[in-house]
Chains A and B, each alone.
Chain A
Amino acid sequence: MPRLRLQKRRFGPFPDKKINNTTTPTRLMNYCWQDWKALWHARTLVWTMTRRELASRYAGSAAGVMWAYLQPLLTIGAYFLVFDVVFAMRMGENAPTSRVGTYLVVGSLPWLAFCESLSRGAGSLVDAGGVLQKNALPPVLFVARSVLAGWVVFVPLMLALTIAYLPVSGLSWALLAIPLLLLLQGALALLLAHVLAILAAAVRDTLQILGFALSVGIFISPVLFPLSLFPQAWQWVLFANPMTALVLGYQSVLLQGAWPGLVVWAITAGWLLGLAVLLNFLIRRSRDELVDWL
């Protein structure tokens, strides 16, 4: 079956283009690659769309975009207040830190950001159906916009948290792992959101299943309980949650001041690669019809 070449497609208003269905791509991961190129090509537009997305979420409220930052801040503030100040709960042995609130905050903030990116990203194509049917734009822009809008909020908060945890982590080289972890989490969220968005376009049930998976997912992760609390034989199950390795990474840096272990990088890289292959497959199978499904 002849396939459409992505390279010269879409971008209604951009000059001189061909829309054709006669060229077969040969490069490995060609479809993902073309989408990322389209994303880079339209980066100014994506940035405009991201700012717009944030502004529209809070349009009409007095505090405006501040709410995007206030919501997670208030949540982690409440954790800290309840567990460390009011109840002063302490963790058991072998935990990375002894104070429960301090422990919870490090895992919750990235997890909240991850959930937000996925749930907004997965619905992004379905929500943008009307716009996509009327404007010649690559669908990936809308997924990227939703994920990026979460990122603009999460990254400053995470950097602020890193500074706030300096008394715990101490000043060490390990802090340089934070930007790297943030970058990996961003890539992970973008790939997974794109996969889910395509699936949601085909079957809307995806969004319902995702909602359930995210509410259960926090228990299949070291966000609430340290890894040592899980039975040894079942610890591998936690890595079915793509965020487990990254949460371990954040905890290692912020609570212990230690560079994340090899397992963090290896498992995250495995997830990224697997998702990229899956995404490439899904784009190849859906591209001709994606907009028809919205």
Chain B
Amino acid sequence: MKSDLTSPVLQVRGLGKRYRLFASPRDRLKALLGWADNSKPHWALHDVSFDLKRGQCLGVIGDNGAGKSTLLKLLAGTLQPSHGSVNRVGRVTAILELGAGFHPDFSGRDNLMFAGSFIGLGQGDMLRLADEIIAFSELGDSIDRAVKTYSSGMVVRLAFALVTAVQPEVLIIDEALAVGDQHFQKKCSQRIEAFRQNGCTILFCSHSLYHVRQLCDQVLWLDGGKMRELGDTESVLASYETHVRLQDSEQRPDASSSGSKPLQPEAGTIDVAKVLPGRRASLLNAKIIGLTNETKPDVLATLRGSDLVIRVQAVSPRDETPSIGVMLEQFQGVGITSVATHAEGTQLTLIDSQEGWSTWQTTLTFPDFSLHSGQYSLSFYLFDDRGLIVCDEWKDFIHFRWVSPSLTPGLVRLPHSWS
């Protein structure tokens, strides 16, 4: 392993990938044999250059079809570039699609040994690592059963345990944090976090801006196969979020005038067993205290009083302590603020505990609500205790109206003084 902290472990220069689109297989044959090339070139990726040093973590974001997956595959070496070069130092592990290539008729152990040879782990390495891999995958005695008897979660657990058995110099992750159940997801993100602590360089491609924010110190925004922006996480994400909002408002020109969005679903007592598929922690209930209790569906509830008080409840398996995030946005507009318990070191209050499940509650107060009049929307998120995994999310769950005593225009009344 190179200990030099300043030399790049991943060097990408003018990388491009061109797909030739053929109208028919016959055209492809003609092009292959050099008779005629009737293809339409499609540049999935064009002129991408960057350097990554040891321990850096780069997030790759962009709309669908922006070339994220192509970039990752080129870096992993499964696709050949049409242009440019990639220089990599040391072991590169790609978590692209887990469990592909396992043979259903062979046992998990047998598949493990074979799949290991694909990623450069010889028989000797595998014999040494097998126990640790099997322990991490939590398959126990099932490891000697045929893979066709496994659940999809078991296959993915085994595959993840295998590819991350050896710490690489560069780790490439394509939306793969959603592996198995929550308990295993947590183990996965802990392992990735440990790699990062040890100086592993990570390339992470995700639609979850939340995860990108958590993990990455640099972000590359791809747009139509080209580099739109590359820089600090916050500045690139801010431009990207603006871009997404603009896109949304173009697609729904009349959205801002519609106020008929359904409000809260039936709030009240919820059967815990019904809300919980498997062992997921979930949000149970979220409501604003002191909201007018309008029953007419097309009239927006209005906030009374001067404080915004929100009560959120969640359930989780007993051994987990979740944390809650709340995001306040202008309806169909910009985000105003987001707060989360784990970020502020606040514990949720345990209000009930039965049959292996805990029910939690927290009350969030924005005293002296200082926004101007308008329509606002609240989104709720449930995280694990460190805020690494999103267990549940209720986007735009509560939509309410607020009439400010002040009549001047604007978005927020900042603390101020005249002199």
Contact = CB atoms under 8 A, between A and B. Distances in A.
Interface of A: 2, 4, 9-22, 44-45, 48-49, 52, 55-56, 59-60, 130-137, 198-199, 202-205, 281-282, 285-293
Given A134-B97, A137-B118, A15 B90 contact: yes
27 contacts: A2-B83, A9-B77, A12-B76, A12-B92, A13-B92, A15-B90, A16-B89, A17-B77, A18-B87, A20-B85, A21-B82, A21-B83, A22-B85, A44-B117, A56-B106, A59-B105, A133-B78, A134-B96, A135-B119, A203-B26, A203-B28, A204-B25, A285-B31, A288-B80, A289-B20, A289-B80, A291-B78
Interface of B: 19-20, 25-26, 28-29, 31-34, 73-74, 76-94, 96-97, 100-101, 103, 105-106, 114, 117-122
Contacts, number: 130
Contacts of B94: 12, 134, 136
B217 to A, nearest CB: 25
Contact of B77 (A12, A52, A289): A12
Given A19-B74, A285-B34, A291-B80, A130 B119 contact: no
B83 A289 contact: no
Residue from B89, B97, B118 having most chain A Cβ neighbours under 10 A: B118
A135 B88 CA distance: 16
A31 to B, nearest CB: 13
Given A19-B74, A22-B85, A130 B100 contact: yes
B32 A131 contact: no
Contacts of B117: 44-45, 48-49
Contacts of A22: 84-85
A9 B330 CA distance: 51
B32 A135 contact: no
Given A4-B81, A16-B89, A19-B74, A135 B103 contact: no
A185 B331 CA distance: 73
A13 B87 contact: no
B101 A131 contact: yes
Contacts of A136: 76-78, 94
Given A14-B120, A19-B77, A19-B85, A292 B19 contact: yes
A256 B106 CA distance: 47
- Sorted nearest first, the 3 A-B pairs with minimum C-beta distance are A13-B120, A20-B85, A136-B77
Given A11-B120, A135-B78, A291-B79, A16 B88 contact: yes
- Give the most central of B77, B90, B91, B93: most A CB within 10 Å: B77
Contacts of A132: 78
